[in-house]
Amino acid sequence: MSDLNSLTLFKAKDGLKAKKFSSLELVTDCLSRIKTLQPKLNCFVSIFEKESLDKAKKADLEKPLGGIPIAVKDNFCVEGTKTTASSKLLDNYQAHYSSTFTKRLEDAGAIIIGKTNMDAWAHGSSTETSDYGPTKNPWNTNHLPGGSSGGSASAVSSDQCIVSVGSETAGSIRQPASWCGVAGFKPTYGRCSRYGLIAMKSSTDSPGPIGKTVDDTAYILSLVSGHDPLDATSLDLPPWQPPKSLTNLKGLKIGLPTSYFPSQIQPDTKSAIYNAVKILEKLGAEIVKLDDMMDPKYSIAVYTILQRSEVSSNLSRFDGVRYGKDRSFFGAEAKRRIMLGTYSLSAGYYDAFYLKAQKVRTLICQDFDKQFKKVDAILGPVSPTTALKLGATKDQAMFGELQDMFLEPSSIAGLPGISIPCGFDKTGLPIGLDIIAPQLREDIVYQIAKIFEDNTDYHLSKPKL
């Protein structure tokens, strides 16, 4: 049997359980696909061919993810493997322990077949800042896949793995998922452990799954979530479990913020979101216009200051003394962020910038609290545009913040959200729909995304490679 790599997670699980094929065949197909597409798409920094094949031969199919090949973003530590965060500063770094997220995947039987490319240190929304070259979008290789989890999203979209792992600080799961036409589930902050994830902005970093369907991402989330004593920000809660899917959305109020449709939004993107709203209305949802919701432009300023400040602190550990190379190996983007963050935290500027940004962050959280008293969930575009062309980030210091402007508010507030395919622009590039809900209400996010997916076929489209 061939093309096993194109299976969804549940179809792969069912096939393995029914012995229609073996884990070895499944892993072999994925590795073959990687070999074919790596020169074209550059999704991987490291490929674990021998290790994956050895594990596939001994796969325990009784485990929840027994024999399933998974790709992991290269800012997750996996014991004994090179972990670079796509920076040459860590080019030779071998992780001495595994992140809780990836350990739980492996404990469930998953086979990590490789580490995916990303924006260096997760600084960006394009995967162009990677020291290992940019990843390409499988829908059009002249375009970006998004970022910083661009390698993970592109790998899933092009069937190089069954499912992948990403991390989001202000859109880095949902935005590349949108640009690559797959599902990206960002959990509530603290729902999944950050232990072993190379920190970027610790107060919003959220690891999460990227998959071919909503169910695939929800199932992964159920296996990796739950309290972790090794992470002080981990919520003291049991693993999240997906609720039953719905047959209609009657009684559910969904908010549509008018401020999330500014003049610079791409017309095709706007049309796709409004079309998605009509579909959800037909399924019984009550759509409520939110005319008083805070403009996402304020989140751009807040995120920029807070992110740079936390970066300047988190990257201070990479001094070339304990691990990695010296600081001359930092790329230009990392240096810019360190300098701006150090400036924001310095004496005389702390109150004017960092403290003020924290106060506005509180206002953003309070605004969401107010809106969620009126609605159960909020819809909007994932990004103002579909995937832009390679090179679009050149001389654009605020590229990421502008492309993630609709996602930054929910990330700042620690809310769960998902990006799912909801259409295509006139050139055939995917468009994503963002669904967010109050903290710890992944159930609402899942149910809306699931019923939308069940009643549309956007997720079934595949890039022609």
Token reading at 277: 């709203």
Beta bridge partners of 208: 166
51-64 as b/e, with b when 16 or more CB fall inside 10 Å? ebbebbeebeeeee
Look up 222 and say whether it is catalytic: no
Q: Which of 46, 130, 148, 410 is catalytic?
A: 148
Look up 148 and say whether it is catalytic: yes
Q: Which of 23, 99, 172, 225 is catalytic?
A: 172
277: enclosing H helix or E strand: helix 267-282
Q: How far is CA 138 from CA 43, 73, 428, in A?
A: 10, 17, 11
Those residues with Cβ within 8 angstroms of residue 1's Cβ, 6 or more apart along the chain or in another chain:
20, 21, 25
Those residues with Cβ within 8 angstroms of residue 127's Cβ, 6 or more apart along the chain or in another chain:
117, 118, 119, 134, 135, 144, 145, 146, 147, 148, 150, 151, 154, 176
Token reading at 400: 């990421």
Whole-angstrom distance, CA of residue 3 vs CA of residue 379? 35
If one counts every other C-beta atom within 10 angstroms of the C-beta of residue 31, the result is 22
User: What are the strands, taking DSSP E only, across 271-337?
Assistant: 286-290
Look up 152 and say whether it is catalytic: no
3-state DSSP assignment of residue 245: coil
Which residue type occupies 408? E
Q: Which of 73, 103, 186, 201 is catalytic?
A: 73
Give me the phi and psi of 346, to 5 degrees please.
-75, 160
Token reading at 30: 């994925």
Residues known to be catalytic = 73, 148, 172
